[in-house]
Structure 1
């Protein structure tokens, strides 16, 4: 082939490759099994595949890539491109977003939890902290207020929690400690065995997790209205991987987040919560409600001290903790 023909062929081939988007697969580290807590990730995978004609896929693994407490570490070294983690599993690694786990913040709906979480995720201090792990927060996993499933005699008053060993992370643990319980932190996958063997007496989860991890199987009671708080469990991506996507693939991913969250909230409200009440009845689990006066006293004992401690400790660590707390409480109060 003559030189000019070879050059023309090379240029043509170069332009052909430049206009082509190559197939790409991201590995996604979750845990447990598919459940309400992971529905937004599952929907995100569907949307990304649809929008890219199968050229960009999310390969979701439930526990096959990492321990759930090590997902953020895995993201930081690029062991996988996307993962879910809970802030309370390692608060020292993600101090800023633990503001969302403070007790008695007053968040009442999944929609509100979503809005406030996204606002916190976009705060410069949060982005800077996540950058230390080469991570970008993609979306929250909005959860309702946690309550307790336990074994043994059902507590008649909040005083009956004194001395009980309870699985409770983050701000929920701090709240329970305020009424004399003994909080312990363990991952969701360890909880059923701990409850059945008597290592813990009671477990705090949102309803979907009580169902998914089997705590209801031998439970005797469920607290209907303690509502001490919730946990914050973001979906996070490796920043280098995100920046390395083609424009089309990045748009397919980021442009699908809102629809994935819409699906998640609809699923949680209409599927999970619809099944929860009948399941409690079926299992014969006593539903315990506490008086308004007791709940008010609980809130007074736990909320302000936990917030003051969180602000002072994190200001000392160099975070704009008061600013983050004011952002959250301001949104809760509509200001």
Structure 2
């Protein structure tokens, strides 16, 4: 009997080892804290686990695996399997997708932001560039148009942007620079301290980030309709890890992206509906920029920056005009449908 019991025990242990070996566990690197900007990643993890009966799980780490500016590097060496990053943090590493950060593209809502982002992500030039970092685009993290919160007197005329110290990255930084602003690209996690210490006068963020990183608590005013553009923050996966998935696991991951994005949009929409209440609670003045001043901003920071981007990226061998045209073709198709 003791021999039979021993054999059964060994079999049970062996089965346990097989089960553990068969399970897939991914580490996911993000930053800050859980917020509207990361809800689609949590939803994706839930869906994948559900579809695979718990055999494919994701551990989402907020800053424990990497700094936000180093997430793409971490993906490239396989330090973790999935990560989120923003194009403006290292524009030289992800040149093709910076077309999505050009100011005044005219993207009107989050649905359009999803459409243009995923169209650009699917372009071969983007896939080739990301492959250099062993990264595959999975989904976007759509954000509404950025707007400023600021200290001191409200700035509602373009002339008042001259000398304004602003936290803004990528194309937004170039836009403010074009009208005399002084952009700095401190990370989102550093923005509150930069504002509190007076390193910057203003911070350009989407609404969720003003809440999550506390800049709204330093603000005296907020521009409701400046809408100069937004940043683009994809979620990527390590190519080797993706290709190592079983067919069922890969299907579970890929098929969960649309539902994760839908959940994100619903959750973010609820936040936007509460925004006016937030401003009132924190005694932040809503500033409306006149149509005349907005037109001046677009004239200086719109097409001239677009043309410069096309010329610069074309000189580097990218199909810049093709990528640029794809943005507007996608917007046209999305609105038609």
Q: Which residue does 2:90 correspond to in 1?
A: 90
Match of 1:224 in 2: 224
Shift of 1:129: 0.3
Aligned-residue offset at 1:18: 11
Give 1:138-217 correspondences, 5 Å limit: 138-217=138-217
Separation in 2, partners of 1:228, 1:214: 21
The alpha-carbon deviation at position 300 of structure 1 amounts to: 1.1
Q: 1:330 — aligned with what?
A: 329
Q: What residue is the counterpart of 1:104 in the other structure?
A: 104
Task: Give distance in 1, aligned partners of 2:316 and 2:155.
Answer: 38
Give the superposition deviation at 1:20. Answer: 11
SS at the partner of 1:256? helix
- The alpha carbon displacement at 1:311 in A equals 0.6
Give the deviation of 1:332 after TM superposition: 2.4
- Is residue 317 from structure 1 mapped to residue 316 from structure 2 by the alignment? yes
The residue that corresponds to 1:5 in the other structure is none
How far does the alpha carbon of each residue in 1:156-207 deviate from its partner, in whole angstroms, 9 at most, with x for none? 3121111011001111111111211111111100100000000000000000
Counterpart of 2:235 in structure 1 is: 235
Note closer, same or farther for the CA distance 1:162–1:19 as it changes in structure 2 (3 Å cut): closer
1:296 alignment counterpart? 295
Q: Distance in 2 between matches of 1:19 and 1:67?
A: 33
Equivalents in 2 of 1:233, 1:198: separation in Å?
27
In 2, are the aligned partners of 1:21 and 1:246 still within 8 Å (CA)?
no
Contact residue 158 and residue 296 of structure 2 kept, 8 A = no
Aligned to 1:69: 69
SS at match of 1:216: helix
1:128 maps onto 2:128 in alignment: yes
CA contact (8 A) 2:151 2:218 kept: yes
- CA displacement, residues 51-99 of structure 1 (integer Å, 9 cap, x when unaligned): 1111100100000000000000000000000000000000000000000
Contact 1:21 1:55 in 2 (8 A): no
Distance 2:19 2:274 in 1: 49
Deviation of the 1:21 alpha carbon: 8.4
Q: Distance in 2 between matches of 1:118 and 1:286?
A: 35
Residue deviations 1:74-126, cap 9 Å, x none? 00000000000000000000000000000000000101110111110010000
Match of 1:281 in 2: 280
Out of 153-162 and 67-76, give the one that drifted further.
153-162
What's the Cα RMSD here? 1.5
Measured in 1, the distance between the counterparts of 2:239 and 2:66 equals 18
CA distance, structure 2, for counterparts of residue 305 and residue 18 of structure 1:
60
Contact 1:51 1:252 in 2 (8 A): yes
SS at match of 2:59: strand
Measured in 1, the distance between the counterparts of 2:186 and 2:18 equals: 49
Q: Tell me, what secondary structure is at the counterpart of 1:255?
A: helix
- When the two structures are superposed, what TM-score results if normalisation uses the length of structure 1? 0.93
Q: Alpha-carbon deviations, 1:285-319, whole Å to 9, x = none?
A: 11111111110111111111111111111111110
The alignment partner of 2:45 has SS state of helix
